[in-house]
Structure formats: C-alpha cells, structure tokens
Amino acid sequence: MKWLHNILEVFREELHNSIFDEGVIVFFFVVPLLYPLLYAYLYGNETVREVPTVVVDLANSTTSREFLRKVDATADVEIVGHCADMQEAKDLIHRRKAHCLIYIPVEFDYALMEGRQAVVELYSDMGSMLYYKAVLASCTEVSLAMNQDIKTQRLVGATEKQASTFAYPIKYEYVPMFNTQSGFATFLIPAVLVMVIQQTMVLGIGMMAGEETEKKRRGILEPHVIGEKPIEMLFGKSAAYLAIYSVISAYVFCLVPHWFHLIQIGKWTDLVAFLFPYLLACLFFSMTLSSIAYNREVFIIMFVFVSVPLLFISGISWPTCSVPEFWKVVSWLFPSTFGINGYVKINSMGAVLRDVKPELIGLWVQTFVYGITAWLLYYRSYGKHLKDIIEVAEERLQARWADYL
C-alpha cells in the first residue's frame, strides 16, 4: 500500500500548504466567504422601487390628477416633482433629481371628453433599463384600471363586465416563473456563486503551482514532494482541494442562499450529485491551467478579467440561443458554463437530475479530459527532466532580458 501512503502524504502536505499560505487563504477562504455576502447584500432589494419621477401635467384635470395619484401610489414609481414645462422637468432629470418623466398634454382632457384616445407620454433616462421598466409597468397598470371605468361609461348600456369583455375578448395573464418578482438577486446570485467557486479555485491552485515553480527555480523544493509518482501527486493534491472546497461549497450553496432568503427549491441529493462533478471539473481544469503559472501572482492578473465574459457566455444573462456558435464552443471549455446552467436549473427552477443531463455529461467529460491533461502535465513537471526544463527556460528568459538592456 505504498501508493496510498504516498497519496495521503501529498494530501496532508497540500492541505497544510493551503491553510498556512496567506495568499492562498485569500482565494480559498476569504473571497468565497465574502463575495457571495457582498453580492447578496448589494442586490438584496431585488428590484428598483420608487424610481424618482417628475411630472408635467398640462391638462391638470380631475382625471389627470387621479392618474398621477394612482401612479404615485404604485411601488415602483415615486413622483418627486411637478413642473410647469418640459424644460424644467428635463433639467431635473439632468441634475439627477429624477430618472423618469410623465407628460400629460393639454389635449388629454379634450380627447377624453370627445371620446377619442388620450395619450400620456413617458420618458426614461436610459442609464438603467430598470427605470424604463418601472415607469412603463406602473403607468400601464394604472391606465388599464382607469380604462376599464371609462369604457363602461362610453359603451352606453353596457355593464363593467361587458365592457371589459368587449375590449379584451380574451384576457392575457402573465406569470414569471421561478423568480416571481423578476428580481436581480434571484437571477444573478446563483450564477455568481457558481462562478466564485471556479475562479477562486483557478487563482488559488495557480498560486500554489506558481509557488512550486518559484521554489524549483531556486532549488529549495522539498525533496519528498518531487519524489512521488505524478499520478499520486495528482490524486493527493486533488483530494486536498476537494476536501477544502466541499466545505466551501456547503457554505456558498447552502448557507448564503438560506441567509438571504434566495430561492432554493432543488432536491439536495440532486444538488450534491450535480455539484460533485462540477467541483471535480473545476479542480482538474485549474490544475491543468496551473501548469503555466510561472510565479505566484501571474494568474491573478491573467485570469480575473475573464470572470465577466464567462458570466455572459454562460447564458445566464444573454440567452444561450443568441450566443454565436464560436463563443458557444469556447464556453464549453469552462466548467462554469455547465455549472451555472445546471445549478440554476436545479436550485432555482426545481429541475431534477435527468433535466440537466447535457450539463452533467459536459462536466463529466471535462473532469475526464482535464484529469488526463492535468496528469500529463504533472508527468512533465514531476518527471526526471523537470529541473532541466526549468533551467533552460530560465536561462532563455535571462538572455532575452539581457539583450534589451
């Protein structure tokens, strides 16, 4: 059982290294603990309420005032000022006192009296799409209710029900599923949680690999670490990372959503069965990548900026059906793509394991492929010729450096 002993030895060593290295602690523990909290706190309000809105009410009639009063009473819009003209109102928007504008023209009342269609104009500062949504939804809702009454008056002899049926022979009902208030936190946080796992793993493991490369370069790597077989190194190290990230995952995927009352409707057995290959895929992906980490810090500056494109490529915000073919293929290289979609489906949409079959297959294929590449790269790193390889690279770098000076 020499091999098992070796694996355990590497496992112990790697666990020790991770827990006692300040830099690695930041990525393995601090970031996964802190980031989800920050994001959940930031998006805690789910959606924007009481968007400050100014009003230009040139009609100034009972009906227009009733309309505005009702709009003000909705949750999404707050009327913060009444202006005499458009210029004054726009100025308030420009000075950021308001984000939307409701304009009721003089004709409003005449149109209503004459039985024509009265138009209310809405303007929105497009600094955020949510302002637009808020003012449009609130005003439409109020106008629909008021239209109901007006229609009853206009269709002489009709009851309220008849008037409604007449204008809308079929009623349409809108049901947003799995995120009933169309909230930001419910939509984005699950993706961020999955992403945090992959990114911190890449950075932490990259940092540890960089550390080893640095030590090798300086010739101070502990001899017994070099002595193991590559496959034993691979299993020992991955077991150590897996142990750490099992704990982290429990926190990230169970405690954080629980604390912030985020949606959690998945079956926990399905969740575990899905997250296990996700962790494995991330692990071997990170270990494969880490072979190019030639010092401790290089991964931080090379890999952090990728997080944002990865979030977009995963399909959580920009729909997968509209992602160009090329980027779709690129996205399959990253565990986060499958991870985010699968996790969202199980956790937020209550899917069961067979619903996420494509994602599950993707993750197992990645685990397998990246496992092999990691093993091959470990074979290269921890094989006999390693020292020579590093030395040659080092000399080459030095020589190039000297040329320029």
Partner 1 sequence: MNSETTEKKGVWRVVQREVARMLSQPVYVFCMVVAPLIGFLFFTTLMGKGLPMDIPVGVVDEDNTSITRQVLRNLDAFQQTAIVKQYANFGEAREAMQQGKIYAFYYIPEGTTELALSSKQPTVSFYTNAAYLIPASLEYRDMKTMAELASGAIARETLYAKGYADSQVMGILQPIKMEMHAISNPGLNYSQYLSNILLPAMLMLLIFQVTIYSIHSEVKEGTSKHWLELADNNIYKALAGKLLPQLLVWMVMGATYLVLLYAYWDFPLKSGLWPMALASLLLIVVSQAFGVFLCEALPSLRWALSIATLWGVLSFPISGFSFPQIAFPAPLKALSYLFPLRHYYLIYVDQALNGLPLHYSWVNYAALLVFLALPLLFPNRLKKCLLEYQYTR
Residue with tokens 């000075």: 95
51 or 225, CB closer to partner 1? 51
- What φ, ψ does residue 315 adopt, rounded to 5°? 95, 5
User: In angstroms, what is the minimal distance from the CB of 196 to partner 1?
Assistant: 10
240 or 351, CB closer to partner 1? 351
- What φ, ψ does residue 159 adopt, rounded to 5°? -85, 170
Alpha-carbon distance of 66 to 71, in angstroms, equals 9
Alpha-carbon distance of 314 to 339, in angstroms, equals 9
248 or 356, CB closer to partner 1? 356
Alpha-carbon distance of 286 to 290, in angstroms, equals 6
7 or 323, CB closer to partner 1? 323
235 or 299, CB closer to partner 1? 299
User: In angstroms, what is the minimal distance from the CB of 162 to partner 1?
Assistant: 7
Alpha-carbon distance of 390 to 371, in angstroms, equals 23
User: In angstroms, what is the minimal distance from the CB of 132 to partner 1?
Assistant: 6
The DSSP string of 347-400 is IIH---GGGGHHHHHHHHHHHHHHHHHHHHHHHHHHSTTHHHHHHHHHHHHHHH
Amino acid at 117: Q
User: In angstroms, what is the minimal distance from the CB of 215 to partner 1?
Assistant: 10
User: In angstroms, what is the minimal distance from the CB of 259 to partner 1?
Assistant: 15
246 or 269, CB closer to partner 1? 269
User: In angstroms, what is the minimal distance from the CB of 145 to partner 1?
Assistant: 10
